Structure 1
Amino acid sequence: MSEGLCGYNRVQSDIISKINKGYREFSKGQKLIADYILDNYEKAVFFTAAKLGEVVGVSESTVSRFAVLLGYEGFPQFHRALEEVVKNKLNTVQRMEVTNDRIKQGDLLKTVLQSDADNIRKTIDGIDQEAFDKAVEIILNARTIYIIGVRSSAPLASFLAFYLSVVFQQVKLVESYSMGELFEKIIHIDEKDVMIGISFPRYSLSTIRAVEFAEKRKADIITITDSYESPLTTYSKCNLIADNGLASVVDSLVAPMSVINALIVAVFLKKQDTVTETLAAMEDIWRQYQIYGSSDDFERMTKYEM
């Protein structure tokens, strides 16, 4: 496993395994908490310590002591571990059920917008500035930039590749429909290159395999993912953690997109002269070949329609 450049010691923690392992030694009250979590973890994840205690029939302090007994510093860390279980274990049908239980139709718009705002806030509070700065440095010094993100992460990968291509000639968006095709596209990666892997629960096996392969070829690895518990971080030198909320039928990409946006802006500022020159050339091309309409064009279209 790569140690990482950001000083984070990745700790594997599966709260379900810990509960099962210690169950026989639990007190009566602790077993009530354990039973509820094992049977209803998708509901328990939305409870505070007080609410969990109320539902189970024990005190809030009993819930807090239970968290410490399992090896967590307190309920907040315990709750975070429970979030990881929910993110990784629920399938799409179960996500739909959770979403339906959580959100009332009348409050849907505000609830979703507030959830996205919360994801941004959590990302701001938890993002590692050292990792971000290192990621910018790695990208600037790479010979070739490989970017992979599939399924719901594909738009993020495409967005990042589009803008980095403004600055760098060697940007490769890794798109594939089979594992064999995937490796064919990254076969030449080596220590002079960087791979940026983007994946969120449920994590894409093809992205994990691509990152693993790139790490074996001694390429630099940057991940954009939701947690240090993500399997991508096993191979990564720099992990950009963006909160994508709890399980929902639709993955929230707001915070990850914001992190990617910041990464692009940081790279652009470091390569300001190149970016300015390229954008000026592109503006000439757009104008020459009428890629975008002008205000005069829109005015003529309006008159024609009338």
Structure 2
Amino acid sequence: MPDPKVCLEALEALTGCQMQPTTEDTQPTPQLTPQDLVNIVALREFYKQEGFKELEYESIGTLSLQDDADMYSSPPALCQAPESSLKPIVKINLQKFFHREFDYDFTNVKDGNQKFLRGNEVYIRPCGWDRAALRVSQQYDGGDQWLGTGKDAWPVSYHGHNMDGSLGIILTRDGNPDDSPQFLEACAASMIREKTSGRGVYSTPDIQLAERYCKLFTSKVDGKRYKVVLQNRINPQSRKSCNRDGLWLVYIPENSTEVKTKAIVQESLRPYGLLLKKA
């Protein structure tokens, strides 16, 4: 497993929260779960697309959507409050958040022409990355088939930073994903119509694409610069394919309430790995 302190910094970089380790289960300060992690990361990107400046997340509070600068890249001005003091404080029980038995260091792994499947779909393993496994087994109704390798498993997707509708237009009609045969006509129309990108949360089965849009931070622990990506499973019933290869959308309909939006994300994306790579 990567250094737990560096993992906490990676979580800070992804969520915009200030992470503090704890060994206690009952705390006045909220604790983060792996599902909270993917919810916050996905919702931050979605609400940024929608033009919001802040995100309200239950039990955590207000998260700024504007602090996207490289963490710790430069000290704050002396006249300003430290950046960390402005972030919500969240406790992390490292023993319950991470599942070290399933950590896997892909740093020096090269798969070549080998093929792997998850849910009968190609799984591009995160070669070159070090994975800290998240404790998510036996945490969802219906068992752990979604996390397995068989036909009932959910496919693997990676969530990088700044993955939004600008990456790949999904063909739409009246605001809804459309799979009608008029593909070429819709493609031509998409060149001149506004707001043709899909409304929702984007991820990719391609780790190399995710890396291009990943979050970077400079660690205070060891002074090294890291890339960070979330490794998730995506509900095959919820995703939509974009007309750019290797990009998936969890569609969020117009006029969805905040509660509905969160529910869609939670039913569609489940995290199981925090990936780190030296930049």
The TM-score normalised by the length of structure 2 is 0.23
Structure holding more helix per residue? 1
